[in-house]
Structure 1
Amino acid sequence: MKRRHFIKTTSAGALATGLLPVAFSCSNPKHLIKNGKVRIAQVGLGMMGVNDLKDTASHPAVEVVALCDVDSTYLNKAGADYPNARKFIDYNEMLDTMGDQIDAVIVSTPDHIHAPVSLKAMNMDKHVYCQKPLTHFVSESREMARVAKDRKLVTQMGIQVHSFYDYVLATELIRGGIVGKVSKVIAWSPKVWGYDGPAPTGSDPIPADLDWELWQGDAPKRPYKDGFYHPSNWRKVLDYGCGTLGDMGVHIFDTPYNALELQVPLTVKNDCRPPNGFGHPEKNHVTYTFPGTKYTTDQMTWVWYDGEGAPEPQPELELPNGEELPDQGAMFIGENGQRLLLPHFMELPRLIVNGEYQPLEIEKYDPKGKLGEPVRDYAGESPKHYHQFVDACMGKAEASAPFSYASKLTEVILLGVIAAQFPGEELHWDGQNAKFREEKANQFISGTAS
């Protein structure tokens, strides 16, 4: 996880004297598109990128003007659907060539490229929608939030469920006190975006349609090895992805983090296998402690499990009637023992009191019916988050997951990723000064580890 000079085309000086405070906001955005089309450039056209492009382009005000991917197969396939868009292999060339013809950039690349693309675009006053996790390193997240604020840009992180009915409802229920003050959250995913084996040796021929140098960006250079990186296994590798925690953790953390109005944790510990210098652990058990908010007890505990068999069985996760837990989800535990289960995804939250399910009485928490009727249609709900971003670019809405919010959520996730370098050791985080009490861990904030 060596340092990548991700800000060489942006404002490197902001990080030279230490990271900035975590709280950012963007009010009165500039560069709004009041008339005509919102001209979109899409960077990254793999599976998620194609979905991002389709849902963004489904907004009637969007015009897709540029497409970029280092894999010409993906690029040409997407280009066939948007024949009027110019095609590029290198995002730098795209932005340098078409800067005055682009209003907003959608970033759907592997994690290690999120910050380089987004920062260059924002420093050219382009609004940015960036997939989750927002960045690969904590330093990048804070820089992204700072630039978005300074430039007064519309930004949104790609956590589509943030705009889904079930998750908005859960937020209203928790803030309405349905389980009282929350003392603990347990969240889990059985996905395995880690790799416990040895680093690959040797090299394989680089596919003719792939620019491997551009794919790596400023990450440490590695020989191409089939099946380990592009197109689908990069999440498992330290230099390119953030493991299961960085993938599913962002989605599943989002609603509790938002509902409880958390900031950054006081401590973090990851019980996992020793670091192997190449891949993320296949199983993580991460424990955070957070300072209290008006929706929590004075100090709140957050526990995350991922990997095969997650989560570990425990009384706090037992369901009525001996039911099995949903495959992925989160459990809010109130100080009075009441619990709210939020499955991931497309299921309503469930209230558990004294070991029995209780009706939600939604109208009590949503008396004006602003949430509307429950929606069970992923295809119908999916475009909401993208359309909200486009509407915000036109001054007709506000983005609900701007970088001011997304940077903090991502920081929490990345602290758990860093803790995997020190298994079983509790690390103490100074959010104001953005550093660990344990000096040895600070090299991972900006990827300076060798």
Structure 2
Amino acid sequence: MKKRTFLKNTAALAAASMLPGSVWSLAKGNRLRTAHIGISNMGMEDLKAISSHELVDVVALCDVDSNALAAAKAMHPNAKTYADYREMFKDMSEGIDAVVVSTPDHTHAPASMMAMENGKSVYCQKPLTHHVSEARAMNKFAAEHNLTTQMGIQVHSFYDYQLATHLIRNGIIGKVKAVRAWSPKNWGFDGPEPQGSDPVPSTLDWNLWLGTSSERPYKKGYYHTGNWRKVLDYGCGTLGDMGVHIFDTPYNALELDVPLTIKNKCRKPTGFGFPENNEVTYIFPGTAHTTDKLKWVWYDGPGAPEKHKDLKLPNGEELPAQGAMFIGEDGRRLLLPHFMQLPKLIVDNEYQELDLSGTEHLGQPVRDYASEGKKHYHQFVDACLGKDECSAPFSYASKLTETILLGTLAGRFPNKTLHWDAENARFAEEEVNELLDAPYREF
């Protein structure tokens, strides 16, 4: 069935019993009962960070891999365990206040929507969804039901990124005409689709791992546990992984909406994996912080970024491995390394000292990931308890994710400028529109 049909059907099933997550929380003495879907790798880090909040009780753990489930159960012996998140909601929905979704990208929307349709606050890892249609549906549902939501881009709450946002919005380089951002990570795959199948590990429920995605035989080393990001059906490539983090601060600082046009310079599509190298050029409508239009160029993969005068650093210095450069219309630039490094102001190809007056509200620079990393998670917990507000709710995250996904879609039509109609959520190029949605497998 189509995603929109799935979303409509599950909403109808949940509507009768739906209550805001905060109602459950307040009924239980102002503590937050959390359920965690996907608890290996990043999911384990999410579990540790959320549960480190003194007012959190972990009550449910869900993973399709029994090894991951056992490791998490050892940390939280009182939590109930499940392989199927649908069974978890059937069994104990009224005992859950908030849900953390840390699955591969293709399961973000199905699991998050079911959580919201059960009235739960949701923390969902980035990118918010696998398809544009899902991002818009999740944003709409969360807004209509006044749910607390947060996308998992933890550096959004780090000092350096908040400082860069403050500096840009206060005109440190004037109107911004361009942004160039990069990561040399390679979550692409230029080889052929693997043939044949391998025995499914006894610890893995392959059907549940596939979830709503198309049926595919298990092949060792290609999907679970680590390489799904490279595959069109499950991940979003390097752009959907590191791109979300590195896009976030410029996107937020400049208060951008979704782009007008997108062009991806990459190899021809294979129908299986994302390109190993991408150069994606976006044109955005202007904002109060930019020129009439903003050009944004993203580079990823081995060797990224390509050399460009906008990226030349003083004293012949090498660029940081990952980062973003803001370029002002008068040539001033602000370099934002990724991550946990202060932004650097460049004027006439020389570094200039930053004027930090007016930034006292940000506190002091922090260089300790262990303490900084928890901020974004604890902000979500506090927001669920009515003590704070989320800085990356789905209203923001859906637009950022849509922008990212449009870039990955452009990789299916290399070197072609695609024109996006944001109001109607369609491309002028009809052949691209069928990729905005995809069938959901019944599993």
Structure-2 residue corresponding to 1:18:
none
CA apart distance, 1:152: 0.7
1-side partners of 2:5 and 2:376: how far apart?
31
1-side partners of 2:412 and 2:9: how far apart?
26
> Which residue, 398, 408, 411 being the options, matches 1:420?
411
Q: Output the amino acid matched with 2:279.
A: H
Structure-1 residue corresponding to 2:382:
391
Cα deviation 1:67-124 (Å, max 9, x = unaligned):
0000000001110010000000000000110100000000000000000000000011
Q: The residue matched to 1:305 in structure 2 has which SS?
A: strand
CA apart distance, 1:47: 1.0
The 1:109/1:237 distance shift into structure 2, 3 A limit, reads same
CA apart distance, 1:31: 3.5
Q: Output the amino acid matched with 1:399.
A: C
2-side partners of 1:357 and 1:167: how far apart?
19
CA apart distance, 1:151: 1.1
CA contact (8 A) 1:31 1:153 kept: no
2-side partners of 1:112 and 1:9: how far apart?
14
> Which residue, 256, 259, 274 being the options, matches 1:262?
256
CA apart distance, 1:10: 3.2
Structure-2 residue corresponding to 1:220:
214
Structure-2 residue corresponding to 1:47:
41
Aligned CA-pair RMSD: 1.5
Q: Output the amino acid matched with 1:355.
A: N
Task: Provide the TM-score with structure 1 as the length reference.
Answer: 0.94
CA contact (8 A) 1:6 1:218 kept: no
Q: Output the amino acid matched with 2:425.
A: A
Structure-2 residue corresponding to 1:69:
63
Map 1:363-402; keep pairs closer than 5 Å.
363=357, 365-366=358-359, 369-402=360-393
CA contact (8 A) 1:37 1:62 kept: yes
Q: The residue matched to 2:187 in structure 1 has which SS?
A: coil
CA contact (8 A) 1:105 1:126 kept: yes
Structure-1 residue corresponding to 2:16:
none
Identity %: 63
Q: The residue matched to 1:188 in structure 2 has which SS?
A: strand
Structure-2 residue corresponding to 1:20:
none
> Which residue, 333, 338, 344 being the options, matches 1:350?
344
Unaligned runs of 5+ in 1: 15-27
The 1:215/1:8 distance shift into structure 2, 3 A limit, reads farther
Structure-1 residue corresponding to 2:15:
none
CA apart distance, 1:36: 2.9
Structure-2 residue corresponding to 1:440:
431
CA contact (8 A) 1:32 1:393 kept: no
The 1:411/1:425 distance shift into structure 2, 3 A limit, reads same
Structure-1 residue corresponding to 2:277:
283
Q: Does 1:337 align with 2:328?
A: no
Q: Does 1:404 align with 2:395?
A: yes
CA contact (8 A) 1:331 1:341 kept: yes
Q: The residue matched to 1:31 in structure 2 has which SS?
A: helix
Q: Output the amino acid matched with 1:359.
A: E
Q: The residue matched to 1:253 in structure 2 has which SS?
A: helix
2-side partners of 1:12 and 1:260: how far apart?
38
> Which residue, 353, 363, 366 being the options, matches 1:359?
353
Q: Output the amino acid matched with 1:69.
A: D
Cα deviation 1:288-312 (Å, max 9, x = unaligned):
0000000000000000000000000
Structure-1 residue corresponding to 2:421:
430
Structure-1 residue corresponding to 2:304:
310
2-side partners of 1:327 and 1:319: how far apart?
13
Unaligned runs of 5+ in 2: 12-19
CA contact (8 A) 1:264 1:412 kept: yes
Q: The residue matched to 1:263 in structure 2 has which SS?
A: coil
Q: The residue matched to 2:142 in structure 1 has which SS?
A: helix
Task: Provide the TM-score with structure 2 as the length reference.
Answer: 0.95
Q: The residue matched to 2:274 in structure 1 has which SS?
A: coil
> Which residue, 23, 29, 38 being the options, matches 1:31?
23
2-side partners of 1:168 and 1:122: how far apart?
29
> Which residue, 80, 94, 119 being the options, matches 1:100?
94
CA apart distance, 1:11: 2.2
Map 1:140-159; keep pairs closer than 5 Å.
140-159=134-153
Q: The residue matched to 1:252 in structure 2 has which SS?
A: helix
Q: Output the amino acid matched with 1:346.
A: M
The 1:61/1:29 distance shift into structure 2, 3 A limit, reads closer
2-side partners of 1:245 and 1:10: how far apart?
26
CA apart distance, 1:331: 0.1
2-side partners of 1:198 and 1:304: how far apart?
25
Structure-2 residue corresponding to 1:17:
none
CA contact (8 A) 1:5 1:218 kept: no
2-side partners of 1:33 and 1:261: how far apart?
33
The 1:95/1:85 distance shift into structure 2, 3 A limit, reads same
Number of aligned positions between the proteins: 430
Q: The residue matched to 1:313 in structure 2 has which SS?
A: coil
2-side partners of 1:300 and 1:211: how far apart?
46
2-side partners of 1:197 and 1:44: how far apart?
28
Structure-2 residue corresponding to 1:109:
103
Cα deviation 1:224-245 (Å, max 9, x = unaligned):
0000000000000000000000
Cα deviation 1:231-279 (Å, max 9, x = unaligned):
0000000000000000000000000000000001000000000000000
